[in-house]
Chains A and B, each alone.
Chain A
Amino acid sequence: MKFVDEFRDPAAARALVKSITELATGDEFKFMEVCGGHTHTIYRHGIEHLLPESVELVHGPGCPVCVIPMGRVDDAMWLAEQPGVIFTTFGDMMRVPGSQGSFFDAKAAGTDIRMVYSPLDSLKIARQNPDKQVVFMAIGFETTAPSTAMTMLRAAAAGLSNFSVFCNHVTIVPAIKAILDSPDLRLDGFIGPGHVSTVIGCRPYEFIARDYGKPVVVAGFEPLDILQSIYMLMLQLSQGRSEVENQYSRVVPWDGNLVALKAIGETMELRPYFEWRGLGFISHSALQVREKYAAMDAERLFQVPGVRVADPKACQCGEVLKGVLKPWECKVFGTACTPETPIGTCMVSPEGACAAYYNFGRMNRTRVAEAAQAGRS
């Protein structure tokens, strides 16, 4: 563990917190992270509580499971129920509630739904079941899209005709732009996503710095990575700069992964628009299968209903995803909505802000309640 220690060095953390505190004079600072992994690190290590009160971290729509609207879940369920279909999906999706229950419920009722680790496992199921249509529910940001793309290319090369993709891949940059254009929230900068950036690189964020004047620092997943990124954001602000910086250069190349980008570009194209839970319809914010690969597009092979379903009334995932509400400010957080019986998606995925907060933050929530109580009495 000799390598780990230097990234967990309490003295280094203290020095960074001191530097951040020195820069946090006068104004209030709000930074958004848009990566579920960062949310997880922040809660696990209590980073919010190390920072001066004037520096606030806001959790954005960084969890791909969380942003899928309920209508898409219902469409997926409909696909799974079609005769001759084997429906395959990542384990994360299994507990996500559709309007008629979850994939687990449908599986228990006899629908052929199988959990897979990789799209390549779906492909193998397709090879083993030539008389069935094997549909893979593709979800994820640009981190995961290359894996779907490469699997499609392999299926095409093998001439496989019974493998298809229900494509729900989303792209992070239009979501960031939607948040910047929304009047709900004033942000001072962004902690850029780590894994997404290994694929897309750092250039796609340049418009944020250039057109919106907000600094972006692409960050790693260690607690010190997060602290250093916050310091880099504060330093830029104090010097009147707004640039894209790469704190995670040990993993993220500035130009991304060209092989991965090429595979995505070959098999998929931007949708005119896509509905995000909480954010509504966002232009060019998701990917669909290109016409050339229509034979692998479940939305073309089947007449998917394309239903729109409103979120449950009690659920405030939308506000949480936009960063307007903190998880514990949601009416049903930790009471009606828990990881065991989630109402909203943010409580389902371990990368969701609510699940992360529920798992690590109950102490803090109690403290919030106590503070509220003290304020009333």
Chain B
Amino acid sequence: MCLGIPGQVVDIVDAEQALAKVDVNGVRRNISVRLLTDDNLKIGDWVLVHVGFAMAKIDEREAAMTLDQVQKMGADYANEIEAFNSSEIA
């Protein structure tokens, strides 16, 4: 639950509700980017995703490292991705 998983912003879905579509290791889901209002997120930016919210903007290097780290968590990462897959934020 406390995992922060890197995702890349691929679309701004609803600017008013601050919803963006992010790609997490090939899976695309909507998340809220409201917490990063001050970061002026653009398509292509990387963020740490936690319980459906972008919690920090990160660079590509940090994203690659974090992804490698969380993937090594095995079942915990699989559970997190399964939960992310089941998400239907709109």
Interface residues, chain A, with chain B CB atoms under 8 Å away: 1, 3-4, 7, 35-37, 40-41, 44, 63-65, 90-92, 115-121, 124, 139-141, 143-144, 146-147, 150, 154, 195, 198-199, 221-222, 250-252, 257-260, 263, 349-351
Nearest CB of B to A362, in Å: 15
What are the residues of chain B within 8 A of A222 when measuring CB–CB? 65, 69
27 pairs from A and B in contact (CB 8 Å cutoff): A4-B64, A35-B2, A37-B3, A40-B73, A64-B1, A91-B83, A117-B52, A117-B87, A118-B51, A121-B52, A124-B88, A141-B2, A143-B2, A144-B2, A146-B55, A147-B52, A150-B53, A154-B17, A195-B48, A195-B55, A198-B56, A251-B58, A251-B62, A257-B55, A257-B56, A258-B38, A259-B37
B1, A221: Cβ atoms under 8 Å?
no
Question: Roughly how many angstroms separate A141 CA and B1 CA in the complex, as a whole number?
Answer: 11
Question: Roughly how many angstroms separate A250 CA and B61 CA in the complex, as a whole number?
Answer: 10
What are the residues of chain B within 8 A of A351 when measuring CB–CB? 1-2
Closest A-B pairs by Cβ, 6 of them = A118-B52, A117-B87, A117-B83, A350-B76, A3-B61, A92-B1
B8 at the interface (CB under 8 A from A): no
What are the residues of chain B within 8 A of A251 when measuring CB–CB? 48, 56, 58, 62
Question: Roughly how many angstroms separate A4 CA and B37 CA in the complex, as a whole number?
Answer: 29
B36 at the interface (CB under 8 A from A): yes
Interface residues, chain B, with chain A CB atoms under 8 Å away: 1-4, 17, 31-32, 34-38, 48, 50-53, 55-56, 58-62, 64-66, 68-69, 72-73, 75-76, 79, 83-84, 86-90
What are the residues of chain B within 8 A of A115 when measuring CB–CB? 83, 86
A198, B55: Cβ atoms under 8 Å?
yes
B32, A140: Cβ atoms under 8 Å?
no
B62, A221: Cβ atoms under 8 Å?
no
Nearest CB of A to B87, in Å: 4
Q: Known: A64-B1, A64-B2. Is A263-B52 also a contact (CB below 8 A)?
A: no
Q: Known: A64-B2, A91-B83, A198-B55. Is A146-B35 also a contact (CB below 8 A)?
A: yes
Nearest CB of A to B83, in Å: 4
For A4, give the chain B residue with the smallest CB separation: B68
Question: Roughly how many angstroms separate A195 CA and B49 CA in the complex, as a whole number?
Answer: 11
A199, B55: Cβ atoms under 8 Å?
yes
Nearest CB of B to A83, in Å: 26
What are the residues of chain B within 8 A of A257 when measuring CB–CB? 35-36, 55-56
A44, B87: Cβ atoms under 8 Å?
no
Question: Roughly how many angstroms separate A181 CA and B84 CA in the complex, as a whole number?
Answer: 40
Question: Roughly how many angstroms separate A124 CA and B87 CA in the complex, as a whole number?
Answer: 10
Q: Known: A92-B1, A259-B36. Is A147-B51 also a contact (CB below 8 A)?
A: yes
A44, B52: Cβ atoms under 8 Å?
no
Q: Known: A121-B89, A124-B88. Is A143-B50 also a contact (CB below 8 A)?
A: yes
Nearest CB of B to A255, in Å: 11
Q: Known: A4-B68, A259-B37. Is A121-B56 also a contact (CB below 8 A)?
A: no
A144, B68: Cβ atoms under 8 Å?
no
Nearest CB of B to A59, in Å: 14
Nearest CB of A to B45, in Å: 14
Nearest CB of A to B63, in Å: 8
B50, A147: Cβ atoms under 8 Å?
yes
A3, B65: Cβ atoms under 8 Å?
yes
What are the residues of chain A within 8 A of B76 when measuring CB–CB? 350
B51, A119: Cβ atoms under 8 Å?
yes
A250, B59: Cβ atoms under 8 Å?
yes
A195, B2: Cβ atoms under 8 Å?
yes
B32, A120: Cβ atoms under 8 Å?
yes
Q: Which of A65, A144, A258 contacts B50 (CB 8 A)?
A: A144
